[in-house]
């Protein structure tokens, strides 16, 4: 009996080693990274990380930033991953209030500028600025100048020229709504009434707005003004390398995307290494080409096309994440009444 008990104990020990998660030094080391549908990275960069650390990153996409945050909150007691990337400015306060993330301090120059608090639970990985984009050639063909501000779009000469995304279903749509609130204060409702009267078109998401309705994209749509990103002109270069479209930098609203180790993560030690990886020079350098956003790490050089066509806006509109969390649903409901009512 003693021999049999010894063999059973040895078998359990060996089984535990073969199924180890990496935190105890045995077996396959795998970290589940939960993220949004737009996440992308270079396979070469990922392979190099796995080769260096022995950690396999299992990427699981669960929808947009809002859906990601909802999933993390609903499963916080038994998380669906070890680390998450993609909770952004518009949802970060909810994730923090719900205790989704565990503290982890990174030692990288840059991300700290976008810290939400001093808890070290969320680390800024990238940032993007949602702005109006215009097709100057199409506007010139209509003998209309490039607009210079939000207010211009309510003028009669821009009637039926603007397409925006629904803030209830689209991250850039929500960012543009928040930008109008940040810039116009209590006048934002009148502004949206004026846009509706001037023929603004509302669609469900960025893909439809940019690739189907916007005249400056490959889709050659009918509308020369669209809500997109400050980086979008870098994708619309002519044969000489000059941008065919332009972002109106006075209409930008900044979105920052964060990563963090999930509370109760099974593989917390290796999850921290994945956060470090997301802030590494190698990962940060490929962020512009892979996800069309700007890296947060200092000293990372932007691609040449970005330096020419998509410089980082210097004074984007911003709102406190807590204000966004407190008012987001009310603002969206008010917007619906104004534009869809």
> Which tokens go with 277?
């990886």
**pLDDT tens digit string along 220-237?**
999 999 999 999 999 898
Q: In whole angstroms, give the CA distance from residue 206 to residue 210.
A: 6
Alpha carbon distance 64, 202 (integer Å): 19
Whole-angstrom Cα distance, residue 58 to residue 268? 14
Average pLDDT in the 302-310 region? 87
- Residues 265, 156, single domain; the answer is no
Q: What does the alpha-carbon distance between residue 336 and residue 173 come to, in Å, rounded to a whole number?
A: 12
- Supply the mean pLDDT for the chain: 89
Is residue 198 domain-shared with residue 261, that is, in the same domain? no
- In terms of domains, do 224 and 316 share one? yes
d(CA 260, CA 64): 17
Quick one: 56 and 111 in the same domain? Answer: yes
pTM, 2 dp: 0.81
Average pLDDT over residues 151-175: 93
Q: Is residue 260 part of a domain?
A: yes
199 within a domain of the structure (yes/no) = yes
Same domain, 183 and 274: no
Nearest to 139 by CA among 161, 116, 169, 118: 161
Residue with tokens 């350098």: 285
Question: 255-264, pLDDT tens digit by residue?
Answer: 999 999 999 9
Residues 170 and 86 in one domain: no
Whether residue 9 lies inside any domain: the answer is no
- Where do we find the tokens 């209509």? 142
Task: Tell me: pLDDT of 72 over 60.
Answer: yes
pLDDT reported for residue 27: 63
Backbone angles phi, psi at 54, to 5 degrees: 80, 5
For residue 165, give Cα distances in angstroms to 41, 84, 92, 98, 117. 26, 26, 21, 28, 30
Q: Which residues pair with 295 in a beta bridge?
A: 126
Kindly give the pairing relationship between strand 246-261 and strand 83-88.
antiparallel
- Number of other residues whose CB lies within 10 A of the CB of residue 305: 18
In 3-state terms the chain splits into helix, strand, coil percentages (rounded to 5) of 45, 20, 35
Please give the radius of gyration of the chain, using alpha carbons only, rounded to the nearest integer. 23
Q: How many domains does the chain have?
A: 2
Whole-number Å distance between alpha carbons of 27 and 31: 13
CATH number of the domain bearing residue 145: 3.40.190.10
285: domain range?
Answer: 28-127+255-308
| Claim to verify: residue 264 and residue 295 sit in the same structural domain | yes
42 band by pLDDT with thresholds 50, 70 and 90: very high
Residue 162 lies in a domain: yes
Task: Indicate if 56 and 119 belong to the same structural domain.
Answer: yes
Residue 86 sits at φ, ψ, to 5 deg, of: 120, -5
If pLDDT is split at 50, 70 and 90, which confidence band does 325 have?
confident
Let me know the angle formed at the C-alpha of 297 by 38 and 183, rounded to the nearest 5 degrees: 70
204 and 260, same domain (yes or no):
no
231 and 276 belong to one structural domain:
no
The answer to the question of residue 8 being in a domain is no
Residue 17 domain flag: no
48 within some domain: yes
Instruction: Evaluate whether residue 23 is within a structural domain.
Output: no
User: What's 15-67 look like in SS3?
Assistant: HHHHCCCCCCCCCCEEEEEEECCCCCCCHHHHHHHHHHHCEEEEEEECCCHHH
CA torsion sign for 294, 298, 303, 305 is: positive
Residue with the bigger pLDDT between 202 and 325: it is 202
Whether 112 and 259 share a structural domain: yes
State whether residue 259 is helix, strand or coil.
Answer: strand
Q: Please tell me whether residues 105 and 145 are part of one structural domain.
A: no
* Pairwise pLDDT comparison (11 vs 110), residue with the higher score: 110
């Amino acid at each position: 009996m003693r021999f049999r008990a010894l063999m059973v104990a040895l078998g359990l020990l060996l089984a535990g080693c073969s199924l180890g998660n990496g935190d105890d030094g045995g077996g396959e080391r795998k970290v589940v990274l939960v993220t949004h549908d737009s996440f992308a990275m270079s396979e070469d960069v990922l392979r190099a990380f796995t080769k260096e650390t022995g950690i396999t990153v299992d990427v699981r996409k669960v929808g947009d930033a809002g859906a990601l945050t909802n999933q993390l909150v609903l499963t916080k007691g038994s998380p669906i991953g070890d680390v998450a990337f993609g909770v952004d400015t518009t949802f970060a306060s909810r994730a923090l209030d719900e205790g989704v993330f565990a503290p982890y301090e990174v030692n990288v120059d840059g991300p700290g500028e976008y810290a939400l608090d001093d808890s070290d639970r969320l680390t800024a990985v990238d940032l993007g600025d949602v702005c109006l984009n215009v097709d100057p050639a199409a506007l010139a063909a209509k003998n209309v100048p490039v607009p210079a501000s939000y207010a211009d779009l309510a003028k009669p000469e821009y009637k039926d020229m603007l397409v925006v995304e629904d803030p209830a279903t689209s991250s850039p749509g929500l960012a543009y709504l928040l930008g109008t609130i940040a810039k116009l204060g209590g006048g934002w409702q009148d502004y949206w009434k004026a846009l509706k009267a001037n023929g603004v078109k509302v669609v469900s998401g960025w893909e439809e707005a940019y690739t189907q309705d916007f005249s400056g994209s490959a889709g050659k749509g009918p509308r020369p003004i669209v809500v997109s990103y400050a980086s979008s002109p870098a994708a619309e270069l002519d044969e000489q390398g000059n941008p065919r479209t332009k972002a109106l930098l006075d209409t930008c609203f900044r979105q920052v995307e964060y990563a963090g180790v999930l509370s109760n993560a099974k593989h917390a030690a290796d999850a921290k290494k994945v956060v470090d990886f997301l802030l590494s020079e190698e990962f940060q350098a490929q962020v512009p080409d892979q996800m069309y956003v700007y890296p947060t790490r200092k000293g990372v050089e932007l691609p040449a096309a970005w330096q020419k066509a998509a410089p980082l806006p210097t004074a984007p509109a911003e709102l406190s994440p807590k204000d966004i969390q407190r008012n987001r649903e009310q603002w969206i409901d008010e917007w619906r009444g104004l534009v869809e009512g």
